[in-house]
Structure 1
Amino acid sequence: MATRERPPRGRGGDARGGSERGGGERTGARSERGGGERSERAGEREDRRGSAESQQRFVYGVNPVLEALRAKPDEVERLYLVEGQLGARAAGELLSRARDAGIRVEKVTRERLGALAEGGVHQGVVVELRGYTYAELEDVLEAAKAAGKPPLVVVLDGIQDPHNLGAIIRSANALGAHGVVIAKDRAVQVTGTVAKASAGAVEHTLIARVVNVSRALEELKAAGLWVAAADVEATEPMWSARLDGPLALVVGAEGTGVREGVLKHCDFRLRIPMTGQVGSLNASVSAGILLYEVARQRGSAPVR
Structure 2
Amino acid sequence: MELITSAANRYVKLARSLKERSWREKKGLYLIEGIHLLEEARQAGIPLEAVLYSPRIFVTPRGERLVAGLQGAGYRCLAVAEDLMTAISTTVTPPGIVAVAPIREQPLAALLAAAPPSPPPLLIIAAAIQDPGNLGTIWRTALGAGATGLILTRGSVDPFNPKVVRAAMGATFKLPVVSGVEPAVLARELRAAGLKLVVADVGAPLVFWQADLRGPLALAVGSENQGPGPELRAAATARVGIPLVGAVESLNAAVAAALLLYEALRQRQNFCR
Using the size of structure 2 for normalisation, the TM-score is 0.82
User: In the alignment, which residue of structure 2 is the partner of 1:195?
Assistant: 165
User: How big is the shift at 1:141?
Assistant: 3.0
Residues 51 and 75 in structure 2, CA contact (< 8 A), matched pair in contact too: yes
User: How big is the shift at 1:147?
Assistant: 5.6
User: How big is the shift at 1:274?
Assistant: 2.4
Query: For residues 190-230 of structure 1, what are the alpha-carbon distances to aligned partners after superposition, in whole Å with 9 as ceiling and x for unaligned?
Result: 22221111001111111012441221122112111100001
User: In the alignment, which residue of structure 2 is the partner of 1:56?
Assistant: 29
Q: Which amino acid aligns with 1:237?
A: V
User: How big is the shift at 1:122?
Assistant: 4.3
Cα distance in 2 for residues equivalent to 1:62 and 1:252 = 32
Secondary structure in 2 matching 1:84: helix
Match of 1:128 among 96, 100, 104: 100
Q: Which amino acid aligns with 2:155?
A: R
Residues 86 and 123 in structure 1, CA contact (< 8 A), matched pair in contact too: no
Q: Which amino acid aligns with 2:40?
A: E
User: How big is the shift at 1:300?
Assistant: 7.0
Distance change >3 Å, CA 172–CA 93, structure 1 → 2: farther
Q: List runs of 5+ in structure 2 lacking aligned partners.
A: 1-23
1:117 and 2:86 equivalent? no
User: In the alignment, which residue of structure 1 is the partner of 2:217?
Assistant: 247
Cα distance in 2 for residues equivalent to 1:265 and 1:98 = 47
Cα distance in 2 for residues equivalent to 1:122 and 1:177 = 32
User: How big is the shift at 1:285?
Assistant: 1.4
User: In the alignment, which residue of structure 1 is the partner of 2:44?
Assistant: 71
Cα distance in 2 for residues equivalent to 1:169 and 1:145 = 23
Residues 183 and 231 in structure 2, CA contact (< 8 A), matched pair in contact too: no
Secondary structure in 1 matching 2:218: strand
Residues 229 and 258 in structure 1, CA contact (< 8 A), matched pair in contact too: yes
Structure 1 stretch 133-142 or stretch 105-114: which is displaced more?
A: 105-114
Cα distance in 1 for residues equivalent to 2:58 and 2:199 = 43
Cα distance in 2 for residues equivalent to 1:149 and 1:299 = 10
Q: Map 1:99-178; keep pairs closer than 5 Å.
A: 99-119=71-91, 122-129=94-101, 131-142=102-113, 144-145=114-115, 148-178=118-148
User: How big is the shift at 1:83?
Assistant: 2.5
User: How big is the shift at 1:89?
Assistant: 4.3
Cα distance in 2 for residues equivalent to 1:165 and 1:86 = 32
Cα distance in 1 for residues equivalent to 2:28 and 2:78 = 21
Cα distance in 1 for residues equivalent to 2:72 and 2:270 = 36
Alpha-carbon RMSD across the aligned residues, in angstroms, is 2.6
Residues 79 and 125 in structure 1, CA contact (< 8 A), matched pair in contact too: yes
Distance change >3 Å, CA 214–CA 248, structure 1 → 2: same
Cα distance in 2 for residues equivalent to 1:286 and 1:245 = 20
Residues 136 and 166 in structure 2, CA contact (< 8 A), matched pair in contact too: yes
Secondary structure in 2 matching 1:256: coil
Cα distance in 2 for residues equivalent to 1:147 and 1:153 = 17
Number of residues paired by the alignment?
249
Secondary structure in 2 matching 1:264: helix
Using the size of structure 1 for normalisation, the TM-score is 0.74
Secondary structure in 2 matching 1:279: coil
Match of 1:290 among 243, 256, 260: 260
Residues 145 and 151 in structure 1, CA contact (< 8 A), matched pair in contact too: no
Distance change >3 Å, CA 122–CA 243, structure 1 → 2: farther
Distance change >3 Å, CA 69–CA 87, structure 1 → 2: farther
Percent sequence identity over aligned pairs: 31
Distance change >3 Å, CA 52–CA 192, structure 1 → 2: closer
Structure 1 stretch 145-154 or stretch 293-302: which is displaced more?
A: 293-302
Residues 182 and 209 in structure 1, CA contact (< 8 A), matched pair in contact too: yes
User: How big is the shift at 1:162?
Assistant: 1.5
